[in-house]
Structure formats: structure tokens, C-alpha cells
Chain A
């Protein structure tokens, strides 16, 4: 009855997209789970698959249809299919991965059938929830799923839903923005293949502070996906409507797409172990109505705990709903997964230190795969004020730029709040990094010198990004204002072929050094500054960037700093908005010596023939100021070995490798291991035994130790042995408990021994033959139960039979000194190697030290 009040909707046959485009309200349905619970189903109705609601599409379609009908009666204009957990990844958890197509197609068909029987003009919205994997995670298991796999999984589900007849594809309750991006790609592919006009609606789930699981705020989420061809962006689940007001206000002010909101029926509260929602329909609908009339939200409905009564209450209000007109703030087109650049800042600084081409320090670290220290460099730049971080791993010495950039991207993505800039000329390197990054990066860069832009621009379009374009063409680098403008014009025209907007371009009009003093370059800074002015005038929405420090290439560091900073000032006044610059040198001009600034100005503006000589001479007369580095050295009074030891004892890994690198110059790796590292681990053991630290902290120290060992092993002569001895380690046959054995392995192997770990459930013969083959100096055995500890006796017996005298160490919950004595004399004959009881890993270590 209520529906007829929404005149435009009921009188015409407008599509979902038409309703969006004409600023109408669309009322979706409410929760499905609660209603299913109302049917009192048994586990058999789910074919034994607890929690797999989607299976009901096959076992009880009539129930799902009845629920749809209830919502249609309540006044829903569109109903969501029962396919939230219908992705292949989710279904595979129930071993029903092969039913993706039929479960999802049926989901859409059931909704269509419900609409056909009910009568009238309604829409089917194909629901797709998250996979439960977290592609953003650096975690070994959750993060292992790739971008392409996720895209494929959603593409498959979307295809089935489209074949079943949905009008809209809805990605909902999404909590990982990287998964969202991949899912959108998958859906776009499915829509394109189907040839149908399907609306794509994307909803994130955020907490009360408007933040997604991994810390993505709603503004960044919008910025990251808004140029990926989505039609509606919104939020659902997690909280009730009241808690959503702040988030929706932000969303409303930045999102160029239509908006949706599907709140829960209030905040969940725990009732007898079950999440319960209790916000009354009237309160719910009043709040949601405000979202429409005040914030311009168009698509509304309910999530967990909402029922037909909530939808009916909203349907009643439909005649009074008119989406407010919104004013949308344009965001700078770069976001990290956790933050977006502030709207107005001139210039934005692109941190340039993590560049194999530009920084010797970075290159050494990149060559050594020292990602933790690179991460520190990244954080340092952010601390100094960098707004974006440029990453360049291109080195002629290595061929794995793609893997390196992707690996580091994954590490740095959530560790710093600044967006990244991927600096590479190789399309495949860029593509891999883009797919690994949850944020919205800058691409650096294209040029017209060769054909690579033809592979890069499609990526820029597909992933909705912005790219730097250098003013270089087939003839080389543009020097004059005219040449720079001409190339910019060509780039703009080419980018139109790829359907890019002007604001997806960032032109770099290039800077040349003034340090050569050559006649033809003397006015090059002026040419660049003029080009910036003219490009900005002709294409106001194009961004402009500059590698500022090129201006001083060849000068001494103090002279470079001042010239760079003064030149940056000129460029910003001309219209530069993104400066590639060392963030530490971005200091106010007023703090620089005025006479040097004046000389720098003369040089940049080419005021007279001796400007360069004057500038260089001025610096030769200066006494160098004490550098920051000198100060840092004064504070650190401990010797390098002491610093390394404290890092192991205090479980700190950052900065370890550089210390080792320095120490290695004056000490051989085996000496470092024996006189620095091992004593530190010994101290860790002592602290553990005295109860000062707990076991897991010892393991963290062992991780630092391991990192040091791995580094040093790279420099050691493989043929010479640096090990104290070889220990064969096993949990005996029949026993599956190996945590104790693993602890022993960690402690022993990080105290200078070579450990051969045979694992758990190891038969006697395997232990003995391995001990012979590896020339073991000792055998260490673990067992939990009295029954399995008999195996230890069998091992000693077998050793005796082979006439061996390898010492045996035994340990485990059921083992004690008496037991060790008992098994040390098989058949009444004393075993020559001896059997020793070790109460824990550290006493085992002491026994080993005594034996060797």
C-alpha cells in the first residue's frame, strides 16, 4: 500500500540506475539471518553445514522466497539475494566450492520468482560478502590470497548472479579495502562479459569511528575506489544508525557517487551468548530518514537485526523523503590505506630517499634486502614531513625489481600514513605493485621517448590512478618552454585516447643542473618556471611536479641544500604543487642565511654571467656547521658489540644489520658470532633461568639472533665449520607433541649448534641412521607420555647394538633423572655414550657444552 505513495517510482518503469540518476530514494530490504532462524530449522536442513545459509537456496528455496515476499509486503523496492557467503572461498570452507554457480544463480532466480508472484516493479540486488581472507595482511596465511585470485572469485560469483537475473551487484560488509578493489575488478569483468547494464554498489563496514578493520578511514576508502567505475558507495552493518551519523557526514561531503546506508538495528548486545539487536522500527526509520533528507543518501535499508517491521516503518516515511543536494569537496587523488592527503597544501612533498638511483644508502639496503631499515627510512621521511613516498627499486645489478617493490609495498603500506609513489619504467613492475597496494598510489612515470606508455596508461585507467608524465619525447628531454608545452599537449591528447581526465596527469617539465655553467643551460631554470606557469594556465586541473634537487647536481651538499630550497620557492610561486624533494631540507627560507639566498636567486634567474662562480665561492668561505650525524654519535657511547648485544637481549631487530655491517669491517664473522652474539644469547638464557624474563621473550631474542646469523652466514666460508657440534633432534615414535622439541631446537640452534630436526613421530631406525649419516655429536629426544617414552629406551638399545657411543639427551613431561638412568643400561650393559636428563632447553644446552 505504502509503495504507491512513491509516485515517480510506481508510475514509471525506471531502472535502478535511472532512480539513482534522478536523485530518487531506493528502499532495500532488511536482515535475512534473523528471519531464517525463525523457521526453526535443524542442522539437516543445512545438509549438516552449520551456518551455511546459502545452502537453503537448494534445500529450502520456498523459505528464502517467503522471506523475500515478507519484505516486498513491507515495502521493499529492491530485495537482496541470499548469497552473502556464496563466494567460492566461503563455500570451499564447507567443501561446496563447486556449487558456486548453482547456489548463486538460484539465489537470484528465487528473488525473481518472489517478485513475479508478488507483482509490481522491483529490483534484485545480488549480495556478495567478504571472502574472510585479508589480502592486506602481512600475515602468512590470511595475506596469501592474491589480488587476481580475489578478482576471479568475485567475478565468478557475479557471473552466476547476473545469469540468475540481478539488476545490481552489491559488494557489502567489506572490511579490507584491497579486497574491495580486487572484487570491483572481478565484478567489472563479469558485467562487461554479460553485456548487460548492471549497477555496481559497494558498501564497506566501519566501526563507530568510521574506520575499517585495517584502519582505512571512510574518506580514504572513497578516494581509493571512486574512480573504479562504481555507481553507489555506502556503509552497512557493524553499528546502528545513530553511530553512523559522523561517518555518513564525511561520506556525503567527498563522494561523487550515489550513497547507500544499511545500518543494523542498533548496537549488538550480548544475550545468552547471542548477538541481539533491539532498536525499534520507529527510531530506526526516523534516523535513516534524516540521512536521506540531511545528507543526501539515496539507497537505504537494514542489515543485521532489522526485520520487515523496520522496512515497513521506512516505507511509511518514503513520501516525506527527498535526498538533500550535496556539495562535494574534491580530494587530492592519493591515499594510503589509512589516510588521504589534506586538501590544501602547497607544495606536497614527495619523499625521494627510497630510490636506488638517487640514494647510495637506499641502494645498499635494497641490495641486501634489508627491508626493516628501509622501513625506518620511510618512517623518518614521514616524520620530517613527506606527503608521499617515492619507491624505486630499479637496479642494473638485480633482476627482481618486481618482487622487491611488491614485497616492500606490502610492508610499508599500513606502516606509514603517506600514500606511495611507484617509481618504475616497467609496466609489469608497476602492475604488480598496484595490485599489492591497498591505497591509491601515484605512478612515476611515463614519457614519450618509447612505447611503454601504451602499456602504463591502460593501468592508470583501469585502477583509477594518476601518473607523472615527464616532458621527454623521441627527441629527448624538453629544454625550452615551447618544447615542454608541446610535449604536455601531446600527452594530454594521448591520455584522452585512454579516457583519462586531466587531473589524472601530473606533468614534470624537467629541471637541469645549473652547476655546469654551460651557456645553453644557464637559463634552463627560467624556462622550467615559465613552463609551469603556462601549463597551469592552459590546463588548470593538471598537477605539476618537479625533481627539484636536479637543479644543484654537481655542487657540494651545503650549496645544494640552499639552491634546492630557493628554487622550490620559485617553482611553487609559478604553480608547482608536488615537489620531489628531501623532506628534511624543507625548512623556511627565512631560516637560511640571507646573502646565500640572494646569490641562489641570481643563479636561478640568470641575472649575470658570474652568478655560478659567486655562489660557489660563497660556500668555500663558510666554516661547516656541526652535522646532525656528529651529534648522534656523541650520544651513543656504547661500543658496537655492546649495542648489538643489547639488541639481542632487548629483542630489537631494527638497526641490527647496519651495526653488524660496521663491526664486520674490524672483526671476522666467526669472531662476531663467538664473542658477541653467543654471549648475548647466554645472557638471555641466564635471565630466563633467574625468572627475569619469560619464555616467549627468549624466542623473540632468538629471532633477532637468527637475523644476525643469517646476515653473517652470507660472508662466511662455507667449507669451514663454525659450529660447535651437530645434534639430531626428534620427538619419538607415537608422540605428536612437539612444542617442547621445537623450543629446544630454537634455543640450541641459536647457540651455535647445527640441529637436524627429524620432526615428530620418528621411528627408532630413522633416528639412529640419521645420527650415523650426519656424524652427530649428540642425540636429543622428546616425549610427552610414559607410554611413548619407552621409545627412548629403544633408541639407546639400537645405538648400543650398532656399537655407537653418541650421547643421548632425553626430556619431556614424563621423563626424570631416574628414567634416564633406567634406560642407560639396556639389557644390563651400560651404554657408553651415556644418557642425560635435560629438564628444559637451557639445561640441555649446558649438558651439550659439557660434552663438547
Chain B
């Protein structure tokens, strides 16, 4: 298996962008009326969930490794395995441009693993629809913060500050979800059971996300 880190979430929670949770996940709208009430409530729920997660002992897990690569046009080639990834060139920008002279990238998968499942199942059982909803939105953004946090750790490993760029699959410059299969193969993810790659190339549990980090 690739390198594994268990990450204490107390360092991760401060990286959650609260505004995204409130507006994108929890549906706070722009209406002025009643906004203060909603904001107070959301802040309280956010703090409650943060405490909840902190004291539950849930850890983030990161699987990652570094790889030597080179490029040929818009194609990235892994030196050791020969695996090739082709990226689109959009407005004269392609991911292969990011490969520096050193020819090194890192791949990472971060996840909250199965630990949230029991929590969610219990809310479902008790028909706590609203808490389930809040927890889901929170956990998705916590996963994003976890990716950000581990991205920083990789930068630290490389002794680089704010240089290395991170790209996830499914976005315009890196649209091909099928590459997830190679990524799982390269990180030897078959040896763990916290994250599963589905035939649709999505990861299960939902609170997981992968990325390429360019040195």
C-alpha cells in the first residue's frame, strides 16, 4: 500500500470554509429577512458538529505517494509504470505544463472512511432529518478541508511553500474520472478497506476525494 497518514481533525476543522457550508450545503439564501436568526443557528450547529466530530475520535486518513513523471505533449507519463494520462488543453493551458524540471508529482486520496456511517445511520434511525442534512453538508466540506490540509503536508514534505498545485478529477482541466482507476492502482489501494472505487469511478464513501499534486 501507499503511504498512509492518520490525521487529527482538530487541525483540519479550522480549514473548513464556513461560508460554503452555510450557503452551498445548508441552503442559506440571500434574503435579508430572518438572516441573522439563520446565521446564529447555523453557527451554533457548525460549532456543535465540530465539537461532535472532535470528540468522536474520528480521524481523517490520507493515502499518498510521490511518482517520477515526464510529459510528451499533453500527455503525462509515469516513468516506472508507463501509465499515460492525457489532459485537455483549454485556453492554451494543460496540466502537463505544471510538470517541473524535477519531474515529480504526488497522488493523494483523503477520506473520512467508514467512521461517519454509524453516526449517519443513527440519525436516520431516529428520524432526525435535519441533523442528518446538516451533518452531510458539513462532512462533505470537511473532506474538502482534509484534502487541503494534506496538500499542505505534502508541500511540507517537499519543503515548498504555496507552490505545488492540486487538481481533482472531474473538473475542466482534469475531466476524466477513469483516471481514478490508475490512481487507485498506483497507490495500491486494493490493500485497504476504507475507500472503494466503484465501476462508475466514484469513490465510496462519499466523504472521500482524490487529487494530483504537482511539485
B130-155, CB < 8 A from A: 130, 132-134, 136-137
For A764-799 the 0/1 string (1 means CB < 8 A from B) is 000000000000000000000101100000000000
Q: Report whether A739 and B133 are in contact in the complex, using a CB–CB cutoff of 8 Å.
A: yes
A15-54, CB < 8 A from B: 43, 48-51
Known: A94-B6, A703-B127. A785 touches B202 (CB 8 A): yes
B57 CB to nearest A CB, Å: 5
Does any Cβ of B come within 8 Å of A700's Cβ? Answer: yes
Stretch at the interface among B26-34, B75-83, B98-106, B183-191: B26-34
For A694-714 the 0/1 string (1 means CB < 8 A from B) is 111101101100100000000
Residues of B within 8 A of A694 (CB): 26-29, 38
Residues of B within 8 A of A90 (CB): 57
Q: Report whether B4 and A48 are in contact in the complex, using a CB–CB cutoff of 8 Å.
A: yes
Residues of B within 8 A of A702 (CB): 129
Does any Cβ of B come within 8 Å of A139's Cβ? Answer: yes
A257 to B134, CA, bound (A): 45
A470 CB to nearest B CB, Å: 39
B112 CB to nearest A CB, Å: 13
Known: A134-B55, A694-B27. A50 touches B204 (CB 8 A): no
Residues of A within 8 A of B36 (CB): none
For B148-188 the 0/1 string (1 means CB < 8 A from A) is 00000000000000000000000000000100000000000
Does any Cβ of A come within 8 Å of B193's Cβ? Answer: no
Q: Report whether B57 and A736 are in contact in the complex, using a CB–CB cutoff of 8 Å.
A: no
A625-672, CB < 8 A from B: none
A691 to B31, CA, bound (A): 8
Known: A51-B8, A142-B52, A702-B129. A133 touches B200 (CB 8 A): no
**B127: which of A51, A706, A735 is its contact (CB, 8 Å)?**
A706
A699 to B133, CA, bound (A): 8
Stretch at the interface among B65-73, B87-95, B115-123: B115-123
A133 to B58, CA, bound (A): 11
Q: Report whether A695 and B5 are in contact in the complex, using a CB–CB cutoff of 8 Å.
A: no
Does any Cβ of B come within 8 Å of A834's Cβ? Answer: no
For B31-69 the 0/1 string (1 means CB < 8 A from A) is 100000010000000000000100111010000000000
A140 to B130, CA, bound (A): 14
Residues of A within 8 A of B127 (CB): 703, 706
Q: Report whether B206 and A736 are in contact in the complex, using a CB–CB cutoff of 8 Å.
A: yes
Q: Report whether A737 and B26 are in contact in the complex, using a CB–CB cutoff of 8 Å.
A: no
Known: A140-B119, A702-B129. A48 touches B5 (CB 8 A): yes
Q: Report whether B52 and A139 are in contact in the complex, using a CB–CB cutoff of 8 Å.
A: yes
Q: Report whether B129 and A699 are in contact in the complex, using a CB–CB cutoff of 8 Å.
A: yes
Q: Report whether B27 and A736 are in contact in the complex, using a CB–CB cutoff of 8 Å.
A: no
B46 CB to nearest A CB, Å: 12
**B177: which of A49, A94, A134, A787 is its contact (CB, 8 Å)?**
A787
Q: Report whether B11 and A273 are in contact in the complex, using a CB–CB cutoff of 8 Å.
A: yes
A734 to B118, CA, bound (A): 22
A93 to B59, CA, bound (A): 8
Q: Which residue of A lies closest to B202 (CB)?
A: A736
Known: A49-B6, A694-B29, A761-B198. A737 touches B56 (CB 8 A): no
A269 CB to nearest B CB, Å: 14
A733 to B202, CA, bound (A): 11
Q: Which residue of B lies closest to A694 (CB)?
A: B27
A141 to B177, CA, bound (A): 34
A372 CB to nearest B CB, Å: 14
Q: Report whether A695 and B57 are in contact in the complex, using a CB–CB cutoff of 8 Å.
A: no
Q: Which residue of B lies closest to A734 (CB)?
A: B200
A737 to B199, CA, bound (A): 14
Known: A50-B8, A139-B52. A743 touches B133 (CB 8 A): yes
**B57: which of A133, A273, A738, A739 is its contact (CB, 8 Å)?**
A133
Does any Cβ of B come within 8 Å of A89's Cβ? Answer: yes
Does any Cβ of B come within 8 Å of A550's Cβ? Answer: no
Does any Cβ of B come within 8 Å of A132's Cβ? Answer: yes
B178 CB to nearest A CB, Å: 10
A694 to B136, CA, bound (A): 16
Q: Which residue of B lies closest to A702 (CB)?
A: B129
A271 CB to nearest B CB, Å: 13
Does any Cβ of B come within 8 Å of A523's Cβ? Answer: no
Residues of A within 8 A of B204 (CB): 736, 761
A75-95, CB < 8 A from B: 89-90, 93-94
For A352-394 the 0/1 string (1 means CB < 8 A from B) is 0000000000000000000000000000000000000000000
Does any Cβ of B come within 8 Å of A746's Cβ? Answer: yes
Residues of A within 8 A of B52 (CB): 139, 141-142
A691 CB to nearest B CB, Å: 6
Residues of B within 8 A of A737 (CB): 202, 206
B196 CB to nearest A CB, Å: 9
A807-845, CB < 8 A from B: none
Q: Report whether A695 and B27 are in contact in the complex, using a CB–CB cutoff of 8 Å.
A: yes
Residues of A within 8 A of B123 (CB): 140
Q: Report whether B132 and A736 are in contact in the complex, using a CB–CB cutoff of 8 Å.
A: no
A495 CB to nearest B CB, Å: 40
**B200: which of A697, A746, A785 is its contact (CB, 8 Å)?**
A785
Q: Report whether B57 and A696 are in contact in the complex, using a CB–CB cutoff of 8 Å.
A: no
Q: Report whether A696 and B26 are in contact in the complex, using a CB–CB cutoff of 8 Å.
A: yes
Q: Report whether A736 and B203 are in contact in the complex, using a CB–CB cutoff of 8 Å.
A: yes
Does any Cβ of B come within 8 Å of A534's Cβ? Answer: no
Does any Cβ of B come within 8 Å of A742's Cβ? Answer: yes
Residues of A within 8 A of B29 (CB): 691, 694
B101 CB to nearest A CB, Å: 27
Q: Report whether B26 and A132 are in contact in the complex, using a CB–CB cutoff of 8 Å.
A: no
Q: Report whether B5 and A132 are in contact in the complex, using a CB–CB cutoff of 8 Å.
A: no
Residues of A within 8 A of B177 (CB): 785, 787
A622 CB to nearest B CB, Å: 49
A736 to B38, CA, bound (A): 29
**A132: which of B56, B132, B200 is its contact (CB, 8 Å)?**
B56
**A141: which of B122, B130, B136, B198 is its contact (CB, 8 Å)?**
B122
Known: A695-B133, A699-B133. A141 touches B119 (CB 8 A): yes
A743 to B125, CA, bound (A): 15
A48 to B198, CA, bound (A): 28
A432 to B206, CA, bound (A): 39
Q: Report whether A140 and B31 are in contact in the complex, using a CB–CB cutoff of 8 Å.
A: no
B198-215, CB < 8 A from A: 198-206
Residues of B within 8 A of A785 (CB): 177, 200, 202
Known: A734-B200, A735-B202. A140 touches B122 (CB 8 A): yes
Q: Which residue of B lies closest to A788 (CB)?
A: B200
A735 to B206, CA, bound (A): 9
A245 to B72, CA, bound (A): 69
Interface centre among B11, B29, B129, B205 (most CB of A within 10 A): B129
Q: Report whether A736 and B198 are in contact in the complex, using a CB–CB cutoff of 8 Å.
A: yes
Binding site for B on A (CB under 8 A): 43, 48-51, 89-90, 93-94, 132-134, 139-142, 273, 691, 694-697, 699-700, 702-703, 706, 733-739, 742-743, 746, 761, 785, 787-788
Given A132-B56, A134-B55, 12 more contacts at CB 8 Å?
A: A48-B6, A140-B119, A140-B123, A140-B126, A142-B55, A694-B38, A700-B129, A700-B130, A734-B199, A735-B202, A742-B133, A788-B200
Leading 7 A-B pairs by shortest Cβ distance? A734-B200, A140-B122, A699-B130, A699-B129, A695-B27, A141-B119, A746-B129
What are some 12 contacts across the A-B interface (CB < 8 A)?
A49-B6, A89-B57, A93-B57, A94-B6, A694-B26, A694-B38, A699-B129, A706-B129, A733-B200, A734-B202, A736-B205, A737-B202
